[in-house]
Amino acid sequence: MRAAAVDGALAGAVGSVALNVVSYLDMVVRARPESSTPQASAGRLAEVAGIDLGPQEAAANRRSGLGPVLGYGLGIAAGAVFALFVGDRRPPRPVEVAILGGGVMTLSDGSMTALGVTRPRSWTRSDWLADLVPHLAYGLAASVSWRRLRRR
């Protein structure tokens, strides 16, 4: 069971890389700026936890580093939880992609909504696509990695 969780965490890390690559490619293609939600989430989470990130410039730098780290942590943890959830079962690939990608998207968007960083009800169709496509890339990359690691 522990080996499966480690494999799941590794698959989640690969998925997180895929999510970021697709997000950065979207920035290139659409010439859009980087999202501020990871940094805002990190700042809000620190605030809720009562953690002082320091003076203004230092706090901004810490939020810039913490945002992506929190994203990777979420992606890695989601892969480990997925591994524990599926065990030795082999769901069809589309189901794995939906569970992994949809799960990470739900956790990410849900936590940002709970922290008051974003309001998905106000998102446009383009906003939803910009969020959905990288999370599907996460799900696909994590699923492929998971199966590769669990080959017997």
The Cα 131–Cα 125 span in angstroms is 10
> Shortest CA distance to 120 belongs to which of 139, 39, 111?
111
**Read out DSSP for the chain?**
-HHHHHHHHHHHHHHHHHHHHHHHHHHHHHTPPPPSHHHHHHHHHHHHHT----SHHHHHHHHHHHHHHHHHHHHHHHHHHHHHHHTT----HHHHHHHHHHHHHHHHHHHHHHTTS--GGG--HHHHHHHHHHHHHHHHHHHHHHHHHT--
Full pLDDT tens readout for the chain, 152 residues: 799 999 999 999 999 999 999 999 999 999 999 999 999 999 999 999 999 999 999 999 999 999 999 999 999 999 999 999 998 888 999 999 999 999 999 999 999 999 999 999 999 999 999 999 999 999 999 999 999 999 86
> Is the pTM above the cut of 0.85?
yes
Check residue 152 and give its pLDDT: 63
**Residue 55 has which token pair?**
């003076």
